[in-house]
Amino acid sequence: MATSSKKRIVTREHQLAAAQSMVDGIAQNKASLPATIPVGTQTYKPDDVSALLQKRITAGKTVVTTASAHEDALKAESDVMAQTKLVVGTFRKLVLVLFAQSPAVLATFGLTAPKPRVVPVATKAKAARQGAAKRKAKTAAVEAVDAETPAPAATPAAPPAATPVAASTKPAS
């Protein structure tokens, strides 16, 4: 007979259901069970085993309800953190700006003065070279576009419209 290579996953719910089934089985079949059960150096009555199983069930249910309450508390904390993030972050920055020169005051807020950003000279030089190269490329691109676009031809002005002269209606003398 071959053995199965699949492992059986036992969850807390399975353990609680198994313990409850044992308690129910003890209650239904108490008359058929021996009066005492030897375990190591001690002996237990079926009612003692039922009480131990009931302790397991109670402890397991406590874990389940506590875990649920813990998850609810974590969700509530996450919601509060999200709701207050903008205000607290803004206040923190304000305190840093107001008291940047007073480390003792910042310490009362649990903050330290921000350290100045130190950029190596090589990094600055590289950035300057890249900036110059970008400006040169943009200038060349603009000049190339200007060279390709023909200059607009001067359009001759339209001759003024002739105004008709009204014929005089005087009789000739």
User: How far out from the chain centre does Cα 121 lie?
Assistant: 36
Q: For residue 105, how many other CB atoms are within 10 A of its CB?
A: 13
**What does the pLDDT read at residue 41?**
92
**What does the pLDDT read at residue 164?**
60
For 1, the 3-state DSSP assignment is coil
Which stretches of the chain score pLDDT less than 50?
Answer: none
Whole-number Cα distances in Å, 138 to 2, 107, 135, 141, 164: 76, 49, 5, 5, 57
Determine if the pTM surpasses 0.85.
no
Residue 19 CA to residue 37 CA, distance in Å, equals 18
**What does the pLDDT read at residue 156?**
61
Domain ranges of the chain: 12-108, 117-146
Question: What residues form DSSP beta bridges with 39?
Answer: 42
Looking at residue 128, its amino acid is: A
Report residue 157 as tokens. 């002005």
**What does the pLDDT read at residue 113?**
87
**What does the pLDDT read at residue 9?**
73
**What does the pLDDT read at residue 148?**
76
**What does the pLDDT read at residue 155?**
63
